[in-house]
Amino acid sequence: MHRRTMNITIIGLGVIGGSLARAVKQSVPRATVTGFDRPAVTAQALRTGAVDLGAASVGAAVHDADIVFLCLPVPSIIALLPDVARHCRRDAIVTDVGSTKGNVMAAAAKAFRSGGTFVGGHPMAGSEGKGLAFADPLLFQNATYVLCASPSRRRRIAPLTRLLHAIGARVLFLPPKRHDEVAALISHLPQLIAVGMMTTAGERNRTLPAVLQLAAGGFRDITRIASSPYGMWSGILEGNADEIRKALRGFGRLMTRYERDLRSGSGRARFAGRFSAAKKWRDAIPKNSKGFLHPLHELYVAVEDKPGVLAKMTAALFRAGINIKDIELLKIRDGRGGTFRLSFETKREADRAAAVLRVPNAR
């Protein structure tokens, strides 16, 4: 990949597009990265060195690109496909990062009839931050990156595959329907379950105020994704509605069975096997790669009850360049102290934070 300059165009310079641009510039130094977004965002990308060139139009962005990444919400990707297909080179590879693949691939099949090769893509990586300011060149390290390309087309898209390997991603080939089925089960269903759990707890809190007051620990962790903005989910719920409905029906049947089994001793006895099987399956999830849901790594810090202790702790992490993704005061004893739970993007950052704060037996 370093034999000649490769022209990479990234349309959409948010967290994913910006991270992709920075990752390419860091790992493939001979590549030329062109960015296209709103003028202010493109100017910011140029000013910070995230891209080498900025384009003023889609046509100008893609006309000489070897590989084009569409890093936009799914509805915007679908709307842009005809324009990209009209202006890209006949030998260009065009891909996207959308969360659903069936609808994108169907739209691409209509748009890319006379030139360019389209391959659906979905990186299993993300950030809770928004915008180019949160772009991270290491975002794709050890992340599974799904490509929807048949075996007969994989040789044609080899430059894209090599590029993704160069930025540290692990490429997995899946048919679009299989991708959407898996995404519905392990991403879209959990999102709706988290929203449902928070809705149930919130409504009950009207007559039982202790509900939200005590909703910490495991409940708070399980429902963390309920804070996701609807704007990023509206297109997903529309584009993958059929698979999500199937997943919801299956989960609903399981919950009905659980409810029925709780009525009798013999039914309750079945939960032992269910808990055991759930643990076995969860232990089988790969621990060294990122998936659809991006976990946070936690650190528990006990502090004395003194003025300014929180400011000192956060200032120390700021000076070390460590970003806190979430912070919560778990418990406090007046006059004695309390325990903070700090959450970090990576285990490495959590370990660094433990060293900076001199936390013994960090966990």
Residue 3 pLDDT = 45
Pick the CATH number of 297-357 from 2.160.10.10, 2.40.37.10, 3.30.70.260, 3.30.70.141: 3.30.70.260
Superfamily, domain 178-283: 6-phosphogluconate dehydrogenase C-terminal like domain (1.10.3660.10)
Query: Tens digit of pLDDT for each residue in 214-247?
Result: 887 788 888 988 988 898 899 899 999 999 999 9
Report CA-CA distances (Å) from 359 to 43, 297, 345, 352.
Answer: 42, 15, 18, 10
Report CA-CA distances (Å) from 144 to 91, 125, 152, 164.
Answer: 26, 8, 21, 10
Query: Tens digit of pLDDT for each residue in 245-303?
Result: 999 999 999 999 999 999 999 999 999 999 999 999 998 887 666 666 556 678 888 88
Residue 363 pLDDT = 46
For the ranges 57-61, 283-287, 319-323, the lowest mean pLDDT is seen at: 283-287
SS (H, E, C) 150-201: CHHHCCCCHHHHHHHHHCCCEEEECCHHHHHHHHHHHHHHHHHHHHHHHHHH
CA separation for the pair 26, 34 (Å, rounded): 15
Query: Tens digit of pLDDT for each residue in 166-180?
Result: 999 999 999 999 999
Mean predicted confidence (pLDDT) in 193-214: 94
Q: Which amino acid is at 206?
A: R
What are the residue ranges spanned by the domains of the chain?
7-174, 178-283, 297-357
Residue 348 pLDDT = 87
For the ranges 31-40, 121-130, 286-295, 299-308, the lowest mean pLDDT is seen at: 286-295
Question: 132, 131, 160: which is closest to 147 by C-alpha?
Answer: 160
Under the banding of pLDDT at 50, 70 and 90, the label for residue 161 is: very high
Residue 329 pLDDT = 77
Query: Tens digit of pLDDT for each residue in 146-159?
Result: 999 988 889 999 99
The pTM of the full predicted model, rounded to 2 decimals, is 0.76
Class of domain 7-174: alpha beta
